[in-house]
Amino acid sequence: MAMQPDISKAKYRKSFSDDNFWNKLRSVGVKAGAAVVYPALVLYYVLRSDEVSGRSKLYIMGALGYLILPLDLIPDFLPFFGYADDLAAIVAAYKFTSDAVTPGIKARARAKASEWFGLAEVSRAEDKLEREVDDQ
Protein backbone atom coordinates (compact mmCIF):
# COMPACT_ATOMS: atom_id res chain seq x y z
CA MET A 1 0.00 0.00 0.00
CA ALA A 2 1.08 3.59 -0.59
CA MET A 3 2.67 5.82 1.97
CA GLN A 4 -0.05 6.89 4.38
CA PRO A 5 -0.69 10.65 4.65
CA ASP A 6 -1.22 12.27 8.03
CA ILE A 7 -4.95 12.92 7.75
CA SER A 8 -5.12 14.32 11.26
CA LYS A 9 -3.88 17.66 9.91
CA ALA A 10 -6.44 20.47 9.90
CA LYS A 11 -5.72 21.40 6.28
CA TYR A 12 -7.33 18.17 5.11
CA ARG A 13 -10.38 18.58 7.34
CA LYS A 14 -10.79 22.15 6.04
CA SER A 15 -10.97 20.80 2.48
CA PHE A 16 -13.96 18.63 3.30
CA SER A 17 -17.50 19.76 2.59
CA ASP A 18 -20.53 17.94 1.24
CA ASP A 19 -20.35 19.90 -2.02
CA ASN A 20 -16.61 19.29 -2.45
CA PHE A 21 -17.06 15.58 -1.76
CA TRP A 22 -19.86 15.06 -4.28
CA ASN A 23 -18.13 17.24 -6.89
CA LYS A 24 -14.96 15.17 -6.53
CA LEU A 25 -16.85 11.89 -6.88
CA ARG A 26 -18.70 13.17 -9.95
CA SER A 27 -15.50 14.41 -11.58
CA VAL A 28 -13.16 11.48 -10.89
CA GLY A 29 -15.32 8.69 -9.49
CA VAL A 30 -15.23 6.42 -12.52
CA LYS A 31 -11.50 7.04 -13.02
CA ALA A 32 -10.73 6.37 -9.34
CA GLY A 33 -12.81 3.20 -9.42
CA ALA A 34 -15.08 1.37 -7.04
CA ALA A 35 -12.12 0.45 -4.81
CA VAL A 36 -11.84 4.15 -3.85
CA VAL A 37 -15.43 5.32 -4.26
CA TYR A 38 -17.16 2.58 -2.23
CA PRO A 39 -15.11 3.06 0.97
CA ALA A 40 -15.28 6.85 0.54
CA LEU A 41 -19.07 6.56 0.45
CA VAL A 42 -19.05 4.34 3.54
CA LEU A 43 -17.03 7.00 5.38
CA TYR A 44 -19.33 9.75 4.14
CA TYR A 45 -22.39 7.94 5.47
CA VAL A 46 -20.64 7.16 8.77
CA LEU A 47 -19.81 10.87 9.04
CA ARG A 48 -23.51 11.69 8.66
CA SER A 49 -24.46 9.19 11.38
CA ASP A 50 -25.48 10.48 14.80
CA GLU A 51 -23.77 7.48 16.40
CA VAL A 52 -20.16 8.43 15.57
CA SER A 53 -17.89 10.33 17.96
CA GLY A 54 -16.60 13.81 17.26
CA ARG A 55 -13.04 12.48 17.10
CA SER A 56 -14.04 9.89 14.48
CA LYS A 57 -15.81 12.59 12.47
CA LEU A 58 -12.61 14.67 12.42
CA TYR A 59 -10.64 11.66 11.23
CA ILE A 60 -13.17 10.93 8.47
CA MET A 61 -13.20 14.58 7.39
CA GLY A 62 -9.41 14.42 7.18
CA ALA A 63 -9.48 11.34 4.95
CA LEU A 64 -12.23 12.68 2.70
CA GLY A 65 -10.57 16.10 2.62
CA TYR A 66 -7.37 14.41 1.49
CA LEU A 67 -9.32 12.71 -1.31
CA ILE A 68 -10.76 16.07 -2.34
CA LEU A 69 -7.46 17.97 -2.39
CA PRO A 70 -5.86 17.96 -5.84
CA LEU A 71 -2.30 17.92 -4.46
CA ASP A 72 -1.39 14.60 -2.82
CA LEU A 73 1.69 12.59 -1.98
CA ILE A 74 1.03 10.78 -5.28
CA PRO A 75 -0.63 12.99 -7.93
CA ASP A 76 -4.09 11.69 -8.89
CA PHE A 77 -3.40 11.95 -12.62
CA LEU A 78 -0.78 9.17 -12.54
CA PRO A 79 -2.19 5.97 -14.06
CA PHE A 80 -2.57 3.00 -11.69
CA PHE A 81 -0.95 4.78 -8.73
CA GLY A 82 -2.72 8.14 -8.59
CA TYR A 83 -5.30 7.18 -6.01
CA ALA A 84 -3.17 4.80 -3.93
CA ASP A 85 -2.43 7.42 -1.27
CA ASP A 86 -6.08 8.50 -1.19
CA LEU A 87 -7.09 4.88 -0.68
CA ALA A 88 -4.51 4.50 2.11
CA ALA A 89 -6.04 7.49 3.93
CA ILE A 90 -9.56 6.14 3.40
CA VAL A 91 -8.64 2.65 4.64
CA ALA A 92 -6.96 4.11 7.74
CA ALA A 93 -10.04 6.18 8.55
CA TYR A 94 -12.30 3.20 7.86
CA LYS A 95 -10.30 1.05 10.25
CA PHE A 96 -10.31 3.78 12.91
CA THR A 97 -14.10 4.16 12.67
CA SER A 98 -15.11 0.59 11.79
CA ASP A 99 -17.15 0.21 14.97
CA ALA A 100 -19.55 2.85 13.57
CA VAL A 101 -19.94 1.10 10.19
CA THR A 102 -23.35 -0.54 10.34
CA PRO A 103 -24.89 -2.94 7.83
CA GLY A 104 -27.27 -0.13 6.88
CA ILE A 105 -24.41 2.24 6.10
CA LYS A 106 -22.70 -0.43 4.00
CA ALA A 107 -25.94 -1.09 2.13
CA ARG A 108 -26.43 2.61 1.42
CA ALA A 109 -22.84 2.98 0.13
CA ARG A 110 -23.19 -0.23 -1.91
CA ALA A 111 -26.41 1.02 -3.52
CA LYS A 112 -24.92 4.41 -4.44
CA ALA A 113 -21.64 2.97 -5.75
CA SER A 114 -23.57 0.35 -7.74
CA GLU A 115 -25.26 3.14 -9.70
CA TRP A 116 -21.83 3.96 -11.17
CA PHE A 117 -20.01 0.64 -11.20
CA GLY A 118 -22.52 -2.18 -10.94
CA LEU A 119 -23.00 -4.56 -8.05
CA ALA A 120 -20.27 -7.03 -9.08
CA GLU A 121 -17.58 -4.33 -9.12
CA VAL A 122 -18.76 -2.92 -5.81
CA SER A 123 -18.72 -6.41 -4.25
CA ARG A 124 -15.08 -6.75 -5.33
CA ALA A 125 -14.37 -3.34 -3.79
CA GLU A 126 -16.00 -4.44 -0.52
CA ASP A 127 -13.87 -7.58 -0.42
CA LYS A 128 -10.72 -5.59 -1.20
CA LEU A 129 -11.50 -3.08 1.55
CA GLU A 130 -11.96 -5.82 4.13
CA ARG A 131 -8.65 -7.44 3.10
CA GLU A 132 -6.81 -4.10 3.32
CA VAL A 133 -8.28 -3.34 6.73
CA ASP A 134 -7.22 -6.78 7.94
CA ASP A 135 -3.69 -6.24 6.53
CA GLN A 136 -3.14 -2.90 8.29
Q: Is the pLDDT score of 77 beyond 90?
A: no
Entry pTM: 0.84
Cβ-contact 81, 1 below 8 angstroms: no
Rounded to the nearest 5 percent, the helix, strand and coil shares of the chain are: 75, 0, 25
- How many residues does the structure list for the chain? 136
Round the CA-based radius of gyration of the chain to a whole number and report it. Answer: 13
Mean pLDDT of the region 52-62: 91
Q: Is the pLDDT score of 82 beyond 80?
A: no
